[in-house]
Amino acid sequence: MRDSRLCVVTVLLSVFLLCNLPVSAQAQESKGKGHGPVPFSVFDMDENGYVSEEEFYSVRQQRMAARAAEGKKMRCAASAPAFSDLDTDGDGQLNPEELTAGQKAHRAKCQGQGQGQGQEQPQEKTN
């Protein structure tokens, strides 16, 4: 039941934020054209120095929606970590170190699978 409520809240918040997407997407585009990890300041929408679970999933969904609208691939989206995976101290919010460490670990995992930016797929040897 809690999961379904969280899903409904996330969807409603995402719809609300998607209405404001052009401003957010422009801000993100000016910070490196959407490549690489999203800066902590983008996730920290209320600028309180922490990222809540709602902020985390809202920004993630905004970015995925923007990339989909542009026809861009979403590498490793299926294996993206959950908020609880990044919240290593279990306080219900992410600090800059937790977010950065989680982003680095996810990027390393994706690159190890040959799905990260700039990684070529391994080629089979022919004998």
> CATH number of the domain that 57 lies in?
1.10.238
pLDDT in the model for residue 43: 97
CA separation for the pair 127, 124 (Å, rounded): 10
**Inside any domain, residue 103:** no
CA separation for the pair 81, 13 (Å, rounded): 20
Q: What is the pLDDT of residues 17-37, one digit of tens each?
A: 454 544 444 444 444 455 678
pLDDT in the model for residue 56: 97
Q: What is the pLDDT of residues 42-60, one digit of tens each?
A: 999 999 999 999 999 999 9
- The percent of residues in the chain predicted with pLDDT above 90, rounded, is 48
Residue span of the structural domain in which 84 resides: 2-98
**Inside any domain, residue 109:** no
- Taking CA atoms, 91 is separated from 15, 42, 52, 53, 94, in Å, by 27, 20, 10, 11, 8
**Inside any domain, residue 110:** no
Residues in contact with 98: Cβ distance below 8 Å, sequence separation at least 6, in sequence order: 86, 87, 88, 89
Question: HSE on the CB side for 125, CA within 13 Å?
Answer: 1
**Inside any domain, residue 104:** no
**Inside any domain, residue 50:** yes
Query: In the chain, how many domains are there?
Result: 1
CA separation for the pair 86, 72 (Å, rounded): 25
